[in-house]
A = this chain, B = another copy of it.
């Protein structure tokens, strides 16, 4: 099954990439590496949820937010490469989790993104990861996720 059929079977609709912003862009391909800008857990143009994990947002909710943020990364990636089966490997995922002081479950939150990638891409979805807690994210989002992928030439 192709990556995009798998996404469809899971009921996941890839968003159009966000409208081009003045001075930075959602993604680009350079030397067979695709770089995707930090994505927030937006759906249909608004955040799935706002707030800080370990305070207003639970780990379970934030797991869903991380999954949505990486769906948005895949939307950008599809825009860049046309067909997600051209992705040879998800190389690096970085998850910034807006965290209350004393909250140390960032890996559980980031799994929302990592699990989806492996489910959809299989072996090609096994990536390296950095997951850290930060004090504040744009729009009061609970997480921001960016990635680098290798593209078949």
Given known A24-B114, A31-B33, contact A138–B130 (CB-CB < 8 A): no
A104, B51: Cα distance in complex, Å? 11
Q: Identify which of B92, B104, B137 contacts A132 (C-beta below 8 A).
A: B137
A144, B94: Cα distance in complex, Å? 12
Proximity string of chain A (3-47) to chain B, C-beta cutoff 8 Å, 1 when within and 0 when not: 000000000000000000011111110111101111000000000
B35 near A137 (CB under 8 angstroms)?
no
B128 near A91 (CB under 8 angstroms)?
no
A129 near B92 (CB under 8 angstroms)?
no
Q: Among residues 104 to 135 in chain A, which have CB atoms less than 8 Å away from a CB atom of chain B?
A: 104-107, 111, 114-115, 117-118, 125-135
